[in-house]
């Protein structure tokens, strides 16, 4: 899994999407640690910009894409996927997906960041990444998976370093970084949509807000799950990763039972939960965040 994941993006593509990319000041990144709600926030941001454009009289159809990464390019795989990061997009602002930390991100744009309770992140990551890499379900245990992630199998590094890099960026400039907890998205999607629209500087009318909420719902995204299953990227990178070009991927990003709050505590073995807690205690607690709930509360304060 580590070898295949390391081939997910070439060195040239990573360089093009980070140090080799000069985004516009109006551009916005959806910058997340993997499995924290990336695709959900991409859909929210894309629908917000399209509905704001419609309200301005533009012809911007928020449903006119086959897979979400076509309209919200992923910074470090765009070159490998044949996408031009400098190209115009459906409408403004231009949006980009990223799993980079604030310290490695291309400089000059603004960012929407999503965090999630770490055990839930690991559970979701385990359900997704091995299957994405063509590894048979159960061939890697949860313990082996956690060990690989903590040893650097993910390009994004550790979750705590990712969270703190963006927290520091947000406290330095609230105008440039909006941080949202996945759990807040689950509890009050309308409030999050309002905050995102304001951050994107997009004005939604009542109809537009209703459309965004409907298209960002689990029911809509599940019904249209192929729009959010990463087939655009995987088809272009399969051979690079080491998979047959025609290989299938059975675990989607919008799946029944996915996105549940508390799943990690229920599904992960105690040894993995202990490792996650130790990672938190070593990095987050010294910054004053003894628990994820304390960190989530701090993010809410930043949004006020």
- The residues spanned by each domain of the chain are 2-303
**Predicted local confidence at residue 61, as pLDDT:** 95
Task: Using the CB atoms, write b or e for 242-276: b if 16+ within 10 Å.
Answer: ebeeeeebeebbbeeebbeeebbeebbeeebbebb
**Predicted local confidence at residue 234, as pLDDT:** 87
**Predicted local confidence at residue 278, as pLDDT:** 94
- This prediction's pTM: 0.93
Measured CA to CA in angstroms, residue 215 lies from 36, 50, 93, 107, 126 at distances of 19, 12, 19, 31, 27
**Predicted local confidence at residue 256, as pLDDT:** 63
DSSP 33: -
CATH class in words for 2-303: alpha beta
Dist CA 211 CA 155 (whole Å): 35
Dist CA 129 CA 304 (whole Å): 35
Dist CA 125 CA 131 (whole Å): 10
Q: In which element (H, E) is residue 115 found? A: strand 110-115
pLDDT in tens, the chain (304 residues): 556 666 678 999 999 999 999 999 999 999 999 999 999 999 999 999 999 999 999 999 999 999 999 999 999 999 999 999 999 999 999 999 999 999 999 999 999 999 999 999 999 888 877 777 777 778 888 888 888 887 776 777 789 999 999 999 999 999 999 999 999 999 999 999 999 999 999 999 999 999 999 999 999 999 999 999 988 998 888 888 777 766 666 556 665 666 788 888 998 999 999 999 999 999 999 999 999 999 999 999 998 7
């Amino acid at each position: 899994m580590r070898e295949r994941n390391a081939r997910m993006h070439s060195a040239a593509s990573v360089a093009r999407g980070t140090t080799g990319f000069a985004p516009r000041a109006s551009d916005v990144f959806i910058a997340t640690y993997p499995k924290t709600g990336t695709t959900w926030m991409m859909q929210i941001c894309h629908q917000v910009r399209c509905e704001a454009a419609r309200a301005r009289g533009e012809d911007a159809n928020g449903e006119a894409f086959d897979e979400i990464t076509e309209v919200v390019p992923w910074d470090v795989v765009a070159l490998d996927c044949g996408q031009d990061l400098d190209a115009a997009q459906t409408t403004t602002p231009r949006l980009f997906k990223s799993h980079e930390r604030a310290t490695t991100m291309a400089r000059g744009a603004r960012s929407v960041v999503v965090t999630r309770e770490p055990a839930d992140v690991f559970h979701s990551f385990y359900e997704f990444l091995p299957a994405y890499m063509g590894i048979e379900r159960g061939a890697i245990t949860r313990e082996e998976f956690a060990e690989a992630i903590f040893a650097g199998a993910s390009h994004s590094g550790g979750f705590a370093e990712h969270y703190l890099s963006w927290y520091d960026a947000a406290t330095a400039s609230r105008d440039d970084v909006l941080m949202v907890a996945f759990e807040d998205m689950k509890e009050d999607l309308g409030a999050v949509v309002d905050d995102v629209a304001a951050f994107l500087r997009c004005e939604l009318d009542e109809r537009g807000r209703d459309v965004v909420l409907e298209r960002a719902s689990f029911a809509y995204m599940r019904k249209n799950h192929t729009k959010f299953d990463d087939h655009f990227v995987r088809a272009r990178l399969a051979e690079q990763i080491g998979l047959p070009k025609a290989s299938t991927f059975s675990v989607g990003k919008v799946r029944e039972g996915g996105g549940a709050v508390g799943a990690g505590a229920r599904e992960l073995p105690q040894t993995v939960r202990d490792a996650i807690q130790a990672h938190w205690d070593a990095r987050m607690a010294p910054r004053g965040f003894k628990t994820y709930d304390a960190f989530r509360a701090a993010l809410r304060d930043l949004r006020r």
